[in-house]
Chains A and B, each alone.
Chain A
Amino acid sequence: MAHAGADRPIPPGSAPRRMSSGMRLLLGNEFGLAVLILLTAATFALTLDGFTSPFSVYTIGRQIGIDTMIGLAMMAVIVTGGLDLSVGAIGVCSAMLFGWLMQVMGVPVLVAVPLAVLFGASLGFVNGFTVVMSGVHSFIITLASMSIFFGVMIFLTKAAAFNGLPPQVQAFGKMRVLPGISPLLLITVAVCAALVVFYRYSTLGRQMLAAGANARAAELSGIRTGRVIVACHMLTGLLAAIAGLMVTARTGAAVPSMAGQLGQDWLLPAFLAPVLGGTLLSGGRVSVIGTLLGATFINIMTSGLLLMRVGEFWILAFLGMMLLIAVLADRTRQIFLTSRGMI
């Protein structure tokens, strides 16, 4: 994309006009989103009965936790300029393995969780390895793998749910840590913190950003981009698996249809949250906090609209509009900033 360079981090000293960090914060996606969230939340709280009820706050928070995790999973691969259509399929497959391990094999919960998460990462490895080996765009590879993963899962489970999970799983999904706070949201916040540190300070995280911003330059400076891209896909699989387990905890059962046909229902939240949060689709730039804020905004809007008795189905169309507006606003912002010589 022609404008891809516009949003890259500014190397110190080379910017036409250096911005103060305060200015950069004000122009960033995160700040705008935070203001938007505060405004909508305040409006809904004042005008809608029941929006601030403990139950409503609790369920919105829990759903924010899940949607953010799905968004982070996609973000981890968007970094490379690629994408992963199979996030939903990986999430469901990991959740089904989780259910099978506990219900059929009698594996204790604390052992089943890491196994399921590792399984998600290994499915991500399959994607990443195939993408790097074939040199074909990740769109078509993950289109194929979403069909294969989901097909194998349905074939093995006979499309039946695992309902007899240990009671701790459901209890965890219904638990309140503080009044109105779900542990699922806390897990997400912890993962966000870990990812911020990972992308900012770890070698692998920085290599991921470099490979995504300019694969050739990264290769020339000694980064083995192939391995890095495989690692990105593994991270995607791992986060998708965590999201799958979170949904399992919420419903109290591992259900094959939890992400829709082929896991397609996860695609919208997966792209909406990172794009709202300012992650560039062409790669090279991530915003973990932006993704969290994006998911927060979506869920506040959705529950507000539901309370206003806007039909559930129209909300789907509304979210699509929101994705459109988000990318259009982002493009306008880039053009504006470029024309003012600010980036």
Chain B
Amino acid sequence: MAAIRDSALTRAFDNDWIGPGLVSLIAVVAISMAQPAFLSSFNIFVLMSAISVNMVIALGQLVIIGLGQMNLALGSIGGLVAISFVGVIERYGVPVPLALAFALGIGIAAGMSSGYIIARTMISAFIITLAGLQIFKGINLGITEAQPFYGVPEAVKTFGQASVIGPLPWLMVPMMICAFAMWYVFNRMRIGRHILAMGSNPHAAELSGIDPKATIIWAHAISGLLAAIAGLMLVARLQIGQPTIGDDWLISSFAAPVIGGAVLTGGRVSVAGTFFGVVIIAIITQGLVMFNIDPFVVQIVLGALILWAVAVNRLREVRIARVQARGAGA
């Protein structure tokens, strides 16, 4: 009896997204009971817009976390892409589809170049992406001189403000596409499996015929592409090409995947869990605003959430290991 209950419990906990999902649900119910305005259609629209952008950002970090690395340059790639997109339209009158392709290309190229250097030299991703962060940010500020580009085309502005149905913003569409694509990559595609295999045991992965260099470059290219998409979504949402886009992505990009059960040493990620991680962060941020709490408290809460998630993940690992050991013994 005990064994059955234990395994059912473990299986439930083994689903990375159940815990964060429950927490999200409880948070929504609790806040909307205290503040009915929380469920107003305006508020849902704002909340969903924020969730959409932050989810794409978190996915960009999730790929690299799966690999067992980190990407500090995520935000600076997003910012560079954002200002390049608006910049070429404003200065050179480039048509929007071409500018989009150009901007996404920059994101992929930026990600690939850090991936290439990491794969080629095997120097820690931390230091390479730290250098990348400064280089991309420097280029961004060198071009804009810290002044925003205002020439965002009307179509893009409308995209950032319009809703599909009711309070659901159009921004959700790219987010859902990205989330589904990443779920597909991790669960159904060879490159996704290779990334996770590299993350959980690089040596074993290499011995079983996975090309480590190609895997690292691919992962960083995907990360760069997602950073680019997030940067463009923020242009649509903010309605200007702001050079500061990406400056504050670092903490939340790690917080959401970790809350969603990703293991930072690599090899274990959850797209659904990450989504609920993003939702929890958004609800807390929004909740603090609604209760007129100092917005700076968000920083403290985010930091505490990371620590809490890390502790929960550790406990779960220990529990799973214990049950597995018992199963092996029986």
A residues neighboring B (CB under 8 Å): 1-3, 83, 130, 134-137, 139-141, 143-148, 150-152, 154-155, 159, 261-262, 264, 267-268, 271, 275, 281-282, 311, 313-321, 323-324, 327-328, 331
Asked if B306 is at the interface (CB within 8 A of a chain A CB), the reply is: yes
Specify which of A137, A264, A328 is in contact with B264 (CB 8 Å cutoff).
A137
Specify which of A137, A147, A317 is in contact with B300 (CB 8 Å cutoff).
A147
Question: B219: shortest Cβ distance to chain A, in Å?
Answer: 18
CB-CB under 8 A from B296, the residues of chain A are 151, 154-155, 159
A191 to B258, CA, bound (A): 38
Per-position 1/0 for B104-126, Cβ under 8 A of A: 00000000000001000111101
Task: Say yes or no: A323-B131 contact (C-beta < 8 A), given A150-B299, A316-B141.
Answer: yes
Asked if B310 is at the interface (CB within 8 A of a chain A CB), the reply is: yes
CB-CB under 8 A from B130, the residues of chain A are 267-268, 271, 323
Interface segment out of the listed B1-9, B22-30, B244-252: B244-252
Given contacts A134-B310, A281-B124, 17 further A-B contacts (CB under 8 A): A3-B122, A135-B314, A136-B314, A139-B70, A144-B306, A145-B303, A147-B302, A154-B299, A264-B250, A271-B127, A275-B127, A281-B126, A317-B136, A320-B131, A320-B138, A323-B131, A324-B135
Cβ-closest 7 pairs across A and B: A317-B138, A320-B134, A151-B299, A147-B303, A316-B138, A148-B303, A313-B141
A235 to B14, CA, bound (A): 40
18 contacts across the A-B interface (CB closer than 8 A): A1-B122, A3-B122, A139-B264, A140-B254, A143-B306, A145-B303, A148-B299, A151-B300, A151-B302, A155-B297, A267-B130, A317-B134, A317-B135, A320-B132, A323-B130, A323-B134, A327-B128, A328-B117
CB-CB under 8 A from A137, the residues of chain B are 264-265
Bin chain B's interface residue count: 35 or more
B residues neighboring A (CB under 8 Å): 70, 117, 121-124, 126-128, 130-139, 141-142, 145-146, 247-248, 250-251, 254, 258, 264-265, 294, 296-304, 306-307, 310-311, 314
A282 to B126, CA, bound (A): 12
A321 to B298, CA, bound (A): 33
For the residues of B in contact with A, the DSSP-based class is: helix
User: Which residue, A137, A141, A150, A320, has most C-beta atoms of chain B within 10 A?
Assistant: A320
Q: Are the C-beta atoms of B298 and A151 separated by less than 8 Å?
A: yes
Specify which of B132, B139, B264, B302 is in contact with A140 (CB 8 Å cutoff).
B264
Task: Say yes or no: A311-B131 contact (C-beta < 8 A), given A137-B265, A141-B307.
Answer: no
CB-CB under 8 A from B141, the residues of chain A are 313, 316
CB-CB under 8 A from B146, the residues of chain A are 313
CB-CB under 8 A from B254, the residues of chain A are 140, 143
Q: Are the C-beta atoms of A139 and B145 separated by less than 8 Å?
A: no
CB-CB under 8 A from A311, the residues of chain B are 142, 145
A92 to B304, CA, bound (A): 20
CB-CB under 8 A from B298, the residues of chain A are 151
CB-CB under 8 A from B117, the residues of chain A are 324, 328
Question: A154: shortest Cβ distance to chain B, in Å?
Answer: 4
Specify which of A135, A317, A323 is in contact with B142 (CB 8 Å cutoff).
A317
Chain A minimum-CB-distance residue to B135: A320
Chain A minimum-CB-distance residue to B307: A144
Question: A281: shortest Cβ distance to chain B, in Å?
Answer: 6
Q: Are the C-beta atoms of A140 and B121 separated by less than 8 Å?
A: no
A150 to B264, CA, bound (A): 23
